[in-house]
């Protein structure tokens, strides 16, 4: 078989995914063991508007590694894909498109036409990210693909809403909310982010104290009261001034009134502990309708809430006719100018501050009072907290940083605003009759029954996107509230692990816990693995605005999917890490190494076949009930008894089994980087650098040393040696497969005698694929510490000799003789492996003795066990030159 000398990743990627998918390998049904233990993961649904970024690829790789391994172990696995309708960002996207293409607004075309457009858009572009995901090679079951707005998931949403409403946990109420004037919708606190404003200003405005009350005030300066504000325009909605009751400066003013400039209103001066005496002037203007703190204070003091703004960020008529219709920033400038004209502008200071902005469109948020739908979170919160306290559930990996964050957040959890003033999403199942009375029901028909009339109009608002995603762990498995038990639900819920990013802990993880406990009376998943963040090469967060993002698809093209997956898994320690192309390059090289090692084995594979028994691996198959004896002989009885093999074979078999154990153990602990590291070094160092070199002569047909007596015909021994190396290689490919699916499948298919017999017993009827091969777990009885330490000694000897050769600059072609003084045991080991030592050290002879007896002109070295070695240099090096070289080194 002719293989090119370089691995072509694209070639391998082209074929296999399609075959895997079409053969049903990704579905749990491929497992024909009805009683097999299950393993399930639901993908955190990416936004329908999104495109793949490194964070996705990291998460997906991790989930796929976990899934592929479990599948190979015989578990009935389900890795379920899907996407999220992402209300705000999708609506934003389509609105923009509408503007660009037709110069229309959503309002121009109406709700129905608009949502139709979004659906069109979804069908056209929604597959983008799914196709990108396919490229990653992840083994998700596409037949179960879900979308948060699928019929069944929508029914689930409606049922959950109705249930919560009926038990009094959903209510409507006017509260102060975050409002995005651009998207014209309310936002939850979690959808608001902070933006630093370095050039902010703090305005000092003077409010005249009511004339009739000035008499009571002693000082001349007290004809006005100065307040400091960053938002002068909101003064039009002020309904009080507050000072701290302990502030001596203002004690005489409490209870007095000021004439609010630019309005005809008088407002009181009140006292409240909240006021910080140190900040500004110590007096604060209070605008209950436009600031969350002022809102709270307003409630405490029964202040009127005066709304002076429209929903688009302009001032309304309450602001007065001079301001009505003015944009908030224009209004700000006008207020300042008017104050200046009145002589009431004391000063303007520079003031760095933090502004709340819309997470999606980055518009500065308005806080205003608005009627919204809310979910009471207290009971669900308590359930989740109790579970955490009592059972440390959910268990986070890494544990330390995330556990406290989760608990703290829950403890301070407030009610959740779930309505959004959008058209894209699940429309709230509430209807109003002509009197404005509300009826919440699963359908209009049922609402009509309740109302006794069909003259009803549905609530315009839709639900927060997270109101559907919090059901994801069970809604994707068929739960819709009407149907509460399905086969999938029974088998795959709770899922085993959720793999996601830190910023999603509150938005999603915590809410999923609450939803699953509440609605299906189960935990949504066992473990939570929180990935680190992929940073750019300067250690900065990747972001669209900075343009420093690394596109996974480009990396796939350049280095191959498998190399990228290895890089990601190898970096998955739970900590953030900086992206480095060099890292991928080294795994690309690793892929090439695997390719070439296989190539070498195939060049010498005539007569050989993959046969686990040849290296003592018993085909004992495990399933969830126990051990299925399957053509299993005692490895120590077999005609290839491991005990009778050479030390180098015992050694590599030991290393293989140890590596298998390590990999399994690491993956059980989510220590992906450990697994990658073990595999990399086992394959490259142990298998390629040493084992292949050790057995090369034995398995090769040729030798360039024509005088060698070892040149053999194809004997049975040679065929067995070939069988062993091919089998070890095949086991290695299985271990590597979860990380490097394409390469390993490509090569596995080329190995001799790879067929469905190598599958885990659960998949014997499927077409041959490494995907379903039995995953090596490592056999303790094949771990041979003695062989390992003896080989270690041999390697050390060879390395030492090579070291001397390099240092003395002995030409590779020059043969040397090696004198060794060692104890009997060591001598015995070296004698038994003389041929291999001679070959790998390029030596002619080894002279073993209890003590060294060598010419003076010898290079010497000592091994860690005390054995001494010496290499006579006479005739090998030019002593004159060597002296010069050493002198030069000293000079340096």
Partner RNA sequence: GGGCAUAUAUGUCAAUUGGUAGACAGCCUCCCUUACAAGGAGGAAGUUGGAGGUUCGAGUCCUUCUAUGCCCACCA
Residues 39-58 that bind RNA (CB under 7 A): none
Among 287, 254, 285, CA closest to 271: 254
Check binding of 349 to RNA (CB under 7 A): no
Write the CB contacts of 808 (distance below 8 Å, at least 6 apart in sequence): 859, 871, 873, 876, 877, 882
Check binding of 502 to RNA (CB under 7 A): yes
Q: Which helix (H) or strand (E) holds 81?
A: none
Q: Report which DSSP code applies to 776.
A: P
Instruction: Pick between residue 362 and residue 541 the one whose CB is nearest to RNA.
Output: 541
Check binding of 250 to RNA (CB under 7 A): no
User: Residue 258 in 3-state DSSP?
Assistant: strand
CA distance 503 to 250: 44
Instruction: Pick between residue 618 and residue 663 the one whose CB is nearest to RNA.
Output: 663
Check binding of 400 to RNA (CB under 7 A): yes
CA distance 238 to 290: 9
Site for RNA in 692-711 (CB under 7 A): 692-693, 696, 700, 702, 704
Query: What count of other Cβ atoms lies within 10 Å of the Cβ of residue 447?
Result: 22
Of the residues 11, 392, 807, 844, which one makes contact with RNA according to CB under 7 A: 807
Site for RNA in 191-210 (CB under 7 A): 193-194
Instruction: Pick between residue 603 and residue 877 the one whose CB is nearest to RNA.
Output: 603
82 CA to centre of own chain: 16
Which part of the chain contacts RNA (CB under 7 A), choosing from 23-31, 154-162, 474-482, 680-688?
680-688
Of the residues 812, 875, 880, 892, which one makes contact with RNA according to CB under 7 A: 812
Report, in Å, the least distance between residue 715 CB and RNA.
19
Sign of CA dihedral 801, 807, 813, 818: negative
Write the CB contacts of 90 (distance below 8 Å, at least 6 apart in sequence): 47, 48, 49, 118, 121, 122, 424
Of the residues 182, 293, 316, 324, which one makes contact with RNA according to CB under 7 A: 293
Check binding of 217 to RNA (CB under 7 A): no
Which part of the chain contacts RNA (CB under 7 A), choosing from 107-115, 568-576, 748-756, 761-769?
568-576
CA distance 274 to 161: 37
**What is 473-484 written as a DSSP string?**
HHHTTT--SS--
Of the residues 35, 212, 412, 889, which one makes contact with RNA according to CB under 7 A: 412
Report, in Å, the least distance between residue 762 CB and RNA.
30
Check binding of 717 to RNA (CB under 7 A): no
Q: Which helix (H) or strand (E) holds 831?
A: helix 824-832
Q: Which residue has the tokens 């003084």?
A: 821
The mark string for 360-399 relative to RNA (x by CB under 7 A, - otherwise) is: ----------------------------------------
Site for RNA in 532-551 (CB under 7 A): 535, 537, 539, 541
Instruction: Pick between residue 5 and residue 891 the one whose CB is nearest to RNA.
Output: 5
Report, in Å, the least distance between residue 553 CB and RNA.
18
Q: Where are the alpha helices (DSSP H) in 642-715?
A: 647-668, 672-681, 693-699
Check binding of 866 to RNA (CB under 7 A): no
> From residue 677, how far is each of 534, 661, 666, 690 by CA, in Å?
19, 13, 10, 18
Instruction: Pick between residue 353 and residue 448 the one whose CB is nearest to RNA.
Output: 353
Query: What count of other Cβ atoms lies within 10 Å of the Cβ of residue 107?
Result: 10
Q: Which helix (H) or strand (E) holds 340?
A: helix 328-341
Q: Which residue has the tokens 């609605």?
A: 519
Tokens of 363: 């518009």
Check binding of 865 to RNA (CB under 7 A): no
Of the residues 346, 557, 689, 788, which one makes contact with RNA according to CB under 7 A: 689
Instruction: Pick between residue 75 and residue 670 the one whose CB is nearest to RNA.
Output: 670
Instruction: Pick between residue 486 and residue 573 the one whose CB is nearest to RNA.
Output: 573
Angle CA 553–554–559, to nearest 5: 100
Check binding of 802 to RNA (CB under 7 A): yes
Q: Report which DSSP code applies to 189.
A: G
Instruction: Pick between residue 114 and residue 339 the one whose CB is nearest to RNA.
Output: 339
Instruction: Pick between residue 24 and residue 532 the one whose CB is nearest to RNA.
Output: 532
Report, in Å, the least distance between residue 754 CB and RNA.
19
Q: Total number of residues binding RNA (CB under 7 A)? A: 87
Instruction: Pick between residue 578 and residue 848 the one whose CB is nearest to RNA.
Output: 578
Of the residues 16, 69, 593, 734, which one makes contact with RNA according to CB under 7 A: 593
Of the residues 134, 172, 175, 231, which one makes contact with RNA according to CB under 7 A: 231
Residues paired with residue 501 on neighbouring β-strands, in sequence order: 531
Helix axes 672-681, 647-668, angle to 10 degrees: 170
The mark string for 122-141 relative to RNA (x by CB under 7 A, - otherwise) is: --------------------
CA distance 697 to 833: 14
Check binding of 486 to RNA (CB under 7 A): no
Report, in Å, the least distance between residue 196 CB and RNA.
10
Of the residues 322, 408, 526, 845, which one makes contact with RNA according to CB under 7 A: 408
Tell me the helices (H) and strands (E) count for the chain, helix number first: 29, 33
Check binding of 405 to RNA (CB under 7 A): yes
The mark string for 253-292 relative to RNA (x by CB under 7 A, - otherwise) is: ---------------------xxxxxxxxxxxx-----xx
Site for RNA in 599-628 (CB under 7 A): 599-600, 603
| 398 upstream amide cis, omega within 30 of 0 | yes
Of the residues 51, 307, 450, 576, which one makes contact with RNA according to CB under 7 A: 576
Report, in Å, the least distance between residue 487 CB and RNA.
38
Query: What count of other Cβ atoms lies within 10 Å of the Cβ of residue 152?
Result: 16
Check binding of 688 to RNA (CB under 7 A): yes
Q: Which helix (H) or strand (E) holds 196?
A: strand 192-197
Report, in Å, the least distance between residue 341 CB and RNA.
22
Query: What count of other Cβ atoms lies within 10 Å of the Cβ of residue 891?
Result: 6
CA distance 208 to 219: 14
């Amino acid at each position: 078989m002719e293989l090119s000398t370089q691995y072509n990743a694209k070639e391998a990627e082209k074929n296999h995914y399609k075959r895997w998918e079409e053969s049903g390998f990704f579905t749990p049904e491929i497992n024909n063991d009805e009683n097999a233990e299950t393993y399930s993961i639901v993908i955190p649904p990416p936004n329908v508007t999104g495109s793949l970024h490194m964070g996705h690829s990291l998460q997906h790789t991790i989930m796929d590694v976990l899934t592929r391994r479990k599948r190979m172990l015989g578990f009935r696995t389900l890795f379920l894909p899907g996407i999220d309708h992402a209300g705000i960002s999708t609506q934003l996207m389509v609105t923009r498109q509408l503007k660009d293409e037709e110069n229309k607004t959503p309002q121009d075309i109406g709700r129905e036409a608009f949502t139709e457009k979004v659906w069109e858009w979804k069908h056209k572009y929604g597959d983008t990210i799914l196709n990108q995901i396919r490229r990653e090679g992840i083994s998700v079951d596409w037949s179960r693909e879900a979308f948060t707005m699928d019929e069944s998931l929508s029914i689930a949403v409606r049922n959950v809403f109705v249930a919560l409403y009926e038990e009094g946990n959903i209510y409507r109420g006017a509260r102060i909310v975050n409002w995005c004037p651009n998207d014209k919708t309310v936002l939850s606190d979690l959808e608001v982010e902070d933006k630093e404003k370095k050039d902010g200003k703090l305005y000092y405005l003077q409010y005249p104290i009511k004339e009739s009350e000035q008499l009571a005030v002693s000082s001349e300066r007290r004809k006005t009261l100065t307040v400091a504000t960053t938002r002068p325009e909101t003064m039009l909605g002020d309904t009080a001034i507050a000072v701290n009751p302990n502030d001596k400066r203002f004690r005489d003013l409490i209870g007095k009134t000021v004439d609010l400039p630019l309005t005809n209103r008088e407002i009181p001066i009140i006292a409240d502990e909240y006021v910080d005496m140190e900040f500004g002037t110590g007096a604060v203007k209070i605008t209950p309708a436009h600031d969350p703190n002022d809102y709270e204070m307003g409630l405490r003091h029964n202040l009127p809430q005066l709304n002076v703004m429209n929903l688009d960020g302009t001032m309304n008529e309450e602001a007065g006719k001079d301001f009505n219709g003015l944009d908030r920033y224009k209004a700000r400038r006008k207020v300042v100018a008017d104050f200046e004209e009145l002589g009431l502008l004391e000063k303007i200071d520079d003031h760095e501050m933090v502004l709340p902005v819309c997470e999606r469109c980055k518009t500065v948020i308005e806080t205003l009072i608005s009627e919204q739908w809310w979910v009471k979170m207290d009971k669900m919160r308590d359930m989740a907290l109790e579970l955490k306290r009592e059972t440390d559930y959910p268990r986070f990996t890494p544990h330390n940083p995330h556990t406290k964050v989760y608990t703290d957040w829950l403890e301070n959890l407030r009610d959740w605003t779930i309505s959004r003033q959008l058209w894209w999403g699940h429309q709230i199942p509430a209807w109003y009759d002509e009197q404005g009375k509300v009826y919440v029901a699963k359908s209009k028909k049922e609402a009509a029954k309740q109302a006794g009339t069909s003259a009803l109009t549905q609530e315009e608002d839709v639900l927060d996107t997270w109101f559907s995603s919090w059901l994801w762990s069970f809604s994707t498995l068929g739960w819709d509230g009407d149907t509460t038990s399905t086969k999938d639900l029974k088998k795959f819920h709770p899922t085993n692990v959720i793999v996601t990013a830190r910023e999603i802990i509150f938005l999603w993880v915590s809410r999923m816990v609450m939803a699953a406990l509440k609605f299906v009376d189960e935990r949504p998943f066992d473990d939570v693995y929180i990935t680190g963040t992929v940073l750019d090469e300067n250690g900065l967060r990747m972001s669209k605005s900075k343009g420093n993002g690394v596109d996974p698809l480009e990396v796939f093209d350049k280095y191959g999917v498998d190399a990228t997956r290895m890089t990601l898994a190898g970096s998955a320690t739970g900590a953030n890490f900086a992206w480095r192309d060099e890292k991928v390059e080294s795994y690309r090289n690793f892929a090439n190494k695997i390719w070439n090692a296989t190539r070498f084995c195939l060049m010498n594979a005539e007569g050989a076949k993959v046969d686990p028994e040849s290296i003592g691996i018993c085909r004992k198959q495990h399933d969830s009930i126990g051990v299925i004896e399957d053509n299993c002989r005692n490895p120590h009885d077999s005609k290839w008894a491991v005990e009778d093999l050479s030390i180098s074979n015992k050694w590599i078999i030991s290393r293989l089994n140890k590596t298998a154990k390590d990999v399994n153990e690491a993956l059980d602990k989510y220590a992906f980087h450990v697994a990658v590291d073990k595999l990399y070094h086992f394959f490259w160092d142990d298998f390629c650098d040493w084992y292949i070199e050790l057995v090369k002569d034995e398995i090769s047909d040729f030798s360039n040393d024509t005088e060698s007596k070892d040149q053999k015909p194809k004997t049975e021994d040679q065929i067995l040696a070939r069988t062993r190396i091919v089998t070890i290689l095949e086991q290695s490919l299985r271990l590597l497969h979860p990380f490097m699916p394409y390469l390993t499948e490509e090569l596995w298919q080329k190995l001799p005698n790879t067929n469905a017999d190598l599958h885990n017993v659960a998949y014997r009827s499927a077409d041959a694929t490494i995907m379903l091969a039995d995953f090596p777990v490592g056999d303790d009885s094949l771990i041979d510490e003695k062989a390992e330490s003896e080989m270690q000694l041999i390697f050390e000897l060879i390395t030492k000799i090579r070291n001397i050769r390099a240092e003395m600059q002995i030409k590779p072609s020059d043969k040397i003789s090696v004198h060794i003084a060692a104890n009997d045991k060591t001598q015995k080991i070296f004698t038994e492996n003389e041929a291999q030592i001679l070959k790998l050290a390029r030596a002619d002879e080894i002279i073993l003795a209890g003590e060294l007896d060598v010419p003076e002109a010898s290079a010497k070295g000592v091994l860690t066990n005390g054995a001494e070695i010496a290499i006579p240099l006479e005739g090998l090096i030019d002593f004159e030159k060597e002296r010069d070289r050493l002198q030069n080194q000293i000079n340096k």
